[in-house]
Amino acid sequence: MMILKMNKIEKNFGSTFVLKDFSLKVNKEEILCIIGPSGCGKSTILNIISGYLLPSRGEVINKSKSISYVFQEDRLLPWKTVYENIRIVNKKVSKDEIKALIEKVGLTGFENHYPLELSGGMRQRCSIARAFNYEADLLLMDEPFKSLDYNLRFHMIDQLIKLWEMKQNSIIFVTHEIDEALLLGDRIIVLSDKPTKVIAEFEIKISKRKRSLKDKILIKIRNNIVDYLIR
């Protein structure tokens, strides 16, 4: 069952054609990871899905009820605290639930800090908590863990898997880190450079909880992806 489909999308900025005849399908309850060279159009794809950008041709069939978006750069409100930034997207949740979210992303003790008083990675985690707080059946994440150290990155991957198990939503996860895609993805697609095409697709059927980066199947997929990326 699909939740979203991009059909023969074209998108140009002036004479630069980022997408030409680009198609993509996202299924219900799946995590789709997207890997591709810098500048190939990954953020553009998410911006089109979210409705922030219009394609010049083609159609987007969107069956989701609502979309939550973790942007490539955190877009927190500088005049609001961590707590307020997270609460603002969904005021129905209790104080305790927000505190629990803040703990999940490792920001306990910083509830009353303003974005400017946080490090880049802390701001990024705050925007992830904000996206988690917004009830959406489709979650778009654009390199959400990029400014995190190795430990935090794996902690956040764990938290995201737990959250996904609870909510069973669909997630489109853009990353440059193959390991993140290997641990999170039900499917991984690799994109070419502009005009962007899907050049490879991998399906991983191992349960997300049971995956190890030392697993032979995952190592094989990683090597394959590297071959597609380095040419």
Ligand X SMILES: Nc1ncnc2c1ncn2[C@@H]1O[C@H](COP(=O)(O)OP(=O)(O)OP(=O)(O)O)[C@@H](O)[C@H]1O
Asked whether position 75 contacts ligand X by CB under 6 A, the answer is no
Minimal distance in Å, beta carbon 207 to ligand X?
Answer: 29
DSSP string, 181-207: HHHH-SEEEEE-SSSB-EEEEEE--S-
Minimal distance in Å, beta carbon 142 to ligand X?
Answer: 7
Minimal distance in Å, beta carbon 195 to ligand X?
Answer: 10
Asked whether position 43 contacts Mg ion by CB under 5 A, the answer is yes
* Amino acid code (one letter) for 162: K
Residue 140, CA distances (Å) to 32, 34, 45, 64, 172 in order: 10, 11, 10, 12, 5
Q: Cβ distance 72 to 42 under 8 Å?
A: no
Q: How many Å apart are CA 158 and CA 215, to the nearest integer? A: 17
Asked whether position 43 contacts ligand X by CB under 6 A, the answer is yes
Asked whether position 169 contacts ligand X by CB under 6 A, the answer is no
Asked whether position 40 contacts ligand X by CB under 6 A, the answer is yes
Radius of gyration over every alpha carbon of the chain, rounded to an integer in angstroms:
18
Minimal distance in Å, beta carbon 134 to ligand X?
Answer: 22
Asked whether position 41 contacts ligand X by CB under 6 A, the answer is yes
Segment near ligand X (CB under 6 A); pick from 12-20, 79-87, 106-114, 214-222 = 12-20
Q: How many Å apart are CA 171 and CA 67, to the nearest integer? A: 10
Asked whether position 48 contacts ligand X by CB under 6 A, the answer is no
Binding site for Mg ion (CB under 5 A): 42-43, 72
Binding site for ligand X (CB under 6 A): 13, 16, 18, 36, 38-44, 72
